[in-house]
Amino acid sequence: MGVTLRGGRIIDGRGGAPIESGAVSFEEGRLTYVGPMDGAPGSGDVVDVSGKTVLPGLFNSHAHLAWDGVEDIRVQSENDSTPMATFKMAVNLEKSLQGGVTTTRDLGVHRLNLEAKKAVERGILPGPRVIASGAAVAMTGGHTWWCCREADGVADVRKAVREQIKSGADVIKVMASSATEPEFSVGELEAMAEEAHRAKVRITAHAFAGPAIHRVVEAGFDSVEHGGPMDDLTIQLMVDKGTFLVTTFSPVTLQALYGLEHGMSEAHVARRNREMRDERRYASIAKAARAGVRICMGTDAGSPLVPHNEITTELKMLIEYGVCQTPMETIVCATYHAAQLCGVEDQWGTLVAGLQADVIVVDGNPLEDLDCMRQVQRVYVHGDEQPIRRQGALS
């Protein structure tokens, strides 16, 4: 029996004008109708969503399911047993659904993300679809080496990438910079990109430093995580190569705002406040967006003070920092652009008849107030309604 969500505002995720008083129908996991209410089928389970907004399920394009959004990430990585990390993943899958996330792109900690993906696919746990990286690849002693597969030299980095692909990785994650300096040689980066693409797997790079961003784009990486100060040559290269950029403004923002009351050191919070005031990163990302680089929304969920149900801060910061001009543009970053990033835009990610039915319902109108995105009422993944509890505000 099909389902029709009837009477609400419809945002299809592609950036066009919303349909007021519309309807969305789906059956056997597929969208069968998206349009004005008077054309919707009258049979099946009809749900009145008047006063609410129906959207595609959101993608969190940068998340870490094994981190809880509370403790220091290194402490968790070094101290949590596998069973403890597993329990955290189960909780965080549910929290993702609470935030309206129906696809989460888990970019490492360890290979447990591959098991989380299997658990959701087999119906063992409720949760969003998981796009998993396996273990991230870092150079010996490089950025977050303590939770990565360390590798050095062209032969070893090829092997590291092959290991993740063998384990079932959907995307390869490479730690290509520290906060300030590039990591890995150009030859190593090119070898990893070649190896991933040989297996038809996408590859992304953690990169804050401008020179590191340029190197990974030139090496053929599909996307850049975080981003930082970029020159015009790098931005144009990203446009020419179709490189995506995934923002992660939430850790800096939330730790600067709430860090002291949650027990973070004054020095850490002061550093986060300095980073918030440093406009170079944000201005570069905004410039890249205006130039045509496709921006995707990622929260770095699991980092301290970034729980997996805290999505709205990232959407609002996209506007605050000038990356997006309107709430509609932020929704596109969290739906259609993200589906393109993952290579699934012909399968799910927008409300288009024939695609798989990943659908959320939020109270109110997020085009007028993005805080409405906190009021997730219903979540469907491949047409199946998911059990969710209302999320609490971060404070």
Q: Express each pLDDT in 305-347 by its tens digit.
A: 999 999 999 999 999 999 999 999 999 999 999 999 999 999 9
Residues in the chain, pLDDT under 70: 390-395
Decide if 130 contacts 119 (C-beta within 8 A).
Answer: no
Give me the residues paired with residue 171 across strands: 202
Residue boundaries of the structural domains of the chain: 3-56+348-385, 58-342
Alpha-helical runs (H) found in 21-174:
73-79, 82-98, 112-121, 153-167
Contacts 24+ apart (CB under 8 A), 191-196: 191/154, 191/157, 191/158, 192/137, 192/157, 192/158, 192/160, 192/161, 192/219, 193/219, 193/220, 193/221, 194/220, 195/157, 195/158, 195/161, 195/162, 195/165, 196/161, 196/165, 196/172
- Indicate the CATH number of 58-342 among 3.20.20.140, 3.20.20.70, 3.30.1360.170, 1.10.3720.10: 3.20.20.140
Decide if 32 contacts 358 (C-beta within 8 A).
Answer: no
Take residue 394 and report the two structure tokens written for it: 């971060």
Question: Distance between the two ends of the chain, CA-based, in angstroms?
Answer: 42
Cα distances (angstroms) measured from residue 344 to each of 59, 283, 293, 349, 355: 11, 30, 18, 7, 10
CA 298-235-237 angle, 5° bins: 110
Q: Is the pTM of this model over 0.85?
A: yes
Q: How would you label 22-32 residue by residue, b for 16+ Cβ within 10 Å and e otherwise? A: bbbbbbeebbb
Going by C-alpha positions, the residue among 298, 299, 291, 296 that lies closest to residue 341 is: 296
Going by C-alpha positions, the residue among 161, 294, 284 that lies closest to residue 219 is: 161
Give me the residues paired with residue 59 across strands: 103
Phi and psi at residue 31, to the nearest 5°: -70, 130
Give me the residues paired with residue 105 across strands: 131
Question: What CA–CA distance (Å, rounded) separates 223 from 247?
Answer: 11
The tokens 């550093």 sit on which residue?
271
Strands 101-106 and 58-63: parallel
Determine the topology of domain 3-56+348-385 in CATH. Urease, subunit C; domain 1 (2.30.40)
